[in-house]
Structure 1
Amino acid sequence: MTRLLAGVRVIDLSQYIPGPFAAQILADLGADVVKVEPPDGEPMRRLGEVDEDGLTPGYKLVNAGKSVLRLDLKDEEGRRTFAELLSRADVLVESYRPGTLERLGFGRERLAELNSGLVHVALSGWGQDGPYRLRAGHDVTYMAVGGGLAISGTSEAPRMAFPPTADYAAAVQAALAAVAGLFHRGRGADGMLLDVSLMETVLAWQGPSLTAAARGTPLPRAGGMISGGAAWYQVYRTADDRFMAVGAIEHKFWHAFCGAVERPDWIARHAEPMPQHALAAEVAALFASQPLAHWAALFDRVDCCVEPVLDPTEVPDHPHVRERGQIRARDGLVEALFGLRVDGGPPALRAPVRDVEVAEIMAAWRG
């Protein structure tokens, strides 16, 4: 097990994907994470088809490694218990709309009174202030406003990504912020409020497209070097309706690709201006002439950044994924483990999510 954050106590007061995944990263790093849910549980428990235990696979996957405590924060006893947990915690991850914690009696001043060293990660769609602070949203709208959708997709229309990009990117951002906050606190500082926005996480990636637009040369959707305009950076359909991914950006890789498919006349065309529609059509015709197995076998022997697009059923059995031990199947779930190894050790395993009683957590956290 990875124990980099051993001894760190985390309260996960979030729901759905971003906050829970952020807290799971902290658990994967060794923190003790207690997820606090309302009496009826969080909606993700029942969002979609449920298993025999009454829980959805998505809920169990994103909350593995945590203990779950149900508290009614609108009730005086529930607030007392929550206040004691806060007094003993190192990190609070929450994803309420701004102002909700204040209405429950746990605004910044109250949190500071309870625990001056608390690292409070407030993860929200739009941030803690600004005109959109209370506006509803989901991944697709955060991507839309943050610039992540405009040049993604085909020439006809933007296309959403899966899994939801803003959700998972903001989760990583929130976990990184929490660890940085703990590091800062460890150097003698007090706790702090860390404001993490899903939209702004997406926005932070948009420097190149914003700069191009400001210079009057906006990046075209499906027309840029790595957005669909280059023949040597594309996804191509095979004869059996599968797909191959080509990422031969560097000239040496394109040269190797052209040699492998016996098309030396394509080598110099690497430098053709974007979009390279004519060349892409020729490469597409080539890939369409044979099934995926043919191309996978050919390029397995050639170092040129070309790989088959794997179906989710194929990923666990890929030789590299299997050798690295990144996938674990148990209890009808297929887990993708946190991609970190410490000193050559294996990835950290996660215990199943489990419901616990107040007494168990208090006994552990008072110790």
Structure 2
Amino acid sequence: MNGPLKDVRVLDMTGALSGPVATQILGDMGADIIKIEPPEGDSIRDLGPSRHGGMAAMFLHTNRSKRSVVLDLKAEAGRQAFMRLAAQVDVVVCNTRPKAMARLGLAYEHVAAVNPRIVYVNIVGYGQGGPCSDKPAYDDLIQAAAGIASLHAPQDPPRYAPVAFADRVSGLFAANAVLGALYHRAITGEGQHIEVPMFESIASLVLADHMGGLTFEPPIGPPVFERYASIRRPFPTRDGSLCMMVLTDRQWRAFFAAVGRGEVMDDPRFSRMAARTGNLDALYAIVGEILAARGTDEWVDLLEAADIPVTRIESIESLLDHAHLRATGFFETADHPTEGRIRSMVRTSTWSATQPAPTRPAPRLGEHSREVLLEAGYAQEEVDAMFAAGAARGCEA
């Protein structure tokens, strides 16, 4: 473990997606991630295709660089083991509802009593203190609550983004919070409790793009940036579709010059960005008519030569063979001890000194229970007794 967090230990009390995304980021940075799972395992262990039970694709992609420990936190011995581990780590990340953690005696105040330097991060659906604080939160619900499902063309029905956007972005927020809190502790010696609410996190992103004229008091115009909400979509070509992003005055002039329609930029509706923003329907109708006249490959060659931002639309299958991703080391194919050959996405950033990278494959349920409990100071006979009582279990159980 040579990443930037190689001396950090994290107790990962998370399941599903938001928490595991956060802790996998920390694990790839070199932190020792101890994933605490209930006897039935993380709820996404069987979500999607798999070669063996409990090791489905989505679990594999969000739980590498971790060790799995199974504890029954409803049993006193399981709770005691959690607290013993919590006293020895730097960070606790949790996405169980705060009231449930309090009932178990595992909330921040309980952990801070035995480890005052702890960084304790709660990923919650809604921030505490509001009327929605105790509501359940899943990606679909948060996308709807934060306005994403409504932001489509008026003729389209509400729908969700086709990725777990709210879960995964909330995980990024949580990982970022851990890093900031660890820096604060390094400077001051102080631990702290951090709450990362999914609803507020995603609402902040949506409103930053779409608050529009409601940003000002009193309002100076309507909300919703129409290009994103209803106009923003690939352009049809003669044989497919094309993504082109033209923004600045220079880019628009270069585009219309390249396609032989330079006079369009003489129209006062389109000559400046402020004017174009109010006339996007008319502008995009002209662009759509132009692009429909030629094939995708022809347009890519012509527009790239004119330095116009353009790309083909990739499918999931074509991404796996994308020349750029291959060249930059984005993918890694490795042999998992039980699941065979696995393809993973391992490099989203490049570091000159402490390159993050997977430290271990996604674990089987309880694969490291015995190992971690012994490291925590339990005697072998104590671990055996916990296994016999069902307070802990491993792969052999």
Q: How does the TM-score come out when normalised to structure 2?
A: 0.82
Unaligned runs of 5+ in 1: none
Distance in 2 between the 1:99 and 1:324 partners? Answer: 45
Q: CA deviation at 1:300?
A: 3.4
- The aligned residue for residue 94 of structure 2 is 94
- The aligned residue for residue 124 of structure 1 is 124
Distance in 2 between the 1:302 and 1:131 partners? Answer: 54
| 1:361 matched to 2:372 | yes
Note the 1:75-224 alignment, pairs <5 A.
Answer: 75-150=75-150, 152-157=151-156, 158-205=158-205, 206-207=207-208, 209-210=210-211, 212-213=213-214, 215-220=219-224, 223-224=226-227
Q: Which has the higher contact order (CA 8 A, sep 6+)?
A: 2
Q: How does the TM-score come out when normalised to structure 1?
A: 0.89
Q: CA 1:288 to 1:332, structure 2 compared with 1: closer, same or farther past 3 Å?
A: farther
Bigger CA radius of gyration: 2
Number of residue pairs matched by the alignment: 360
Q: CA 1:300 to 1:365, structure 2 compared with 1: closer, same or farther past 3 Å?
A: farther
AA at the equivalent of 2:178: A
| 1:29 matched to 2:29 | yes
Conserved 8 A contact 1:239-1:290: yes
Q: CA deviation at 1:211?
A: 5.3
Distance in 2 between the 1:307 and 1:347 partners? Answer: 29
Structure 1 residues 350-359 or 177-186, which shifts more? Answer: 350-359
Distance in 2 between the 1:294 and 1:358 partners? Answer: 58
**In percent, how many aligned pairs have the same letter?**
27
Conserved 8 A contact 1:123-1:196: yes
SS of structure 1 residue aligned to 2:87: helix
Runs (4+) of structure 1 exceeding 6 A deviation are none
- The aligned residue for residue 242 of structure 2 is 244
Structure 1 residues 32-41 or 123-132, which shifts more? Answer: 123-132
- The aligned residue for residue 252 of structure 2 is 254
SS of structure 1 residue aligned to 2:194: strand
Q: CA 1:54 to 1:94, structure 2 compared with 1: closer, same or farther past 3 Å?
A: closer
Q: CA 1:333 to 1:294, structure 2 compared with 1: closer, same or farther past 3 Å?
A: farther
Q: CA deviation at 1:162?
A: 2.9
Query: What is the Cα-based RMSD across aligned positions, in Å?
Result: 2.5
Q: CA deviation at 1:238?
A: 2.5
Deviations 1:229-266 (A, max 9, x none): 5xxx652122333x211211011122222233232233
Distance in 1 between the 2:149 and 2:266 partners? Answer: 33
| 1:274 matched to 2:278 | yes
Unaligned runs of 5+ in 2: 335-339, 378-397
Conserved 8 A contact 1:299-1:307: no
Conserved 8 A contact 2:3-2:354: no
- The aligned residue for residue 288 of structure 1 is 292
Conserved 8 A contact 1:10-1:93: yes
SS of structure 2 residue aligned to 1:64: coil
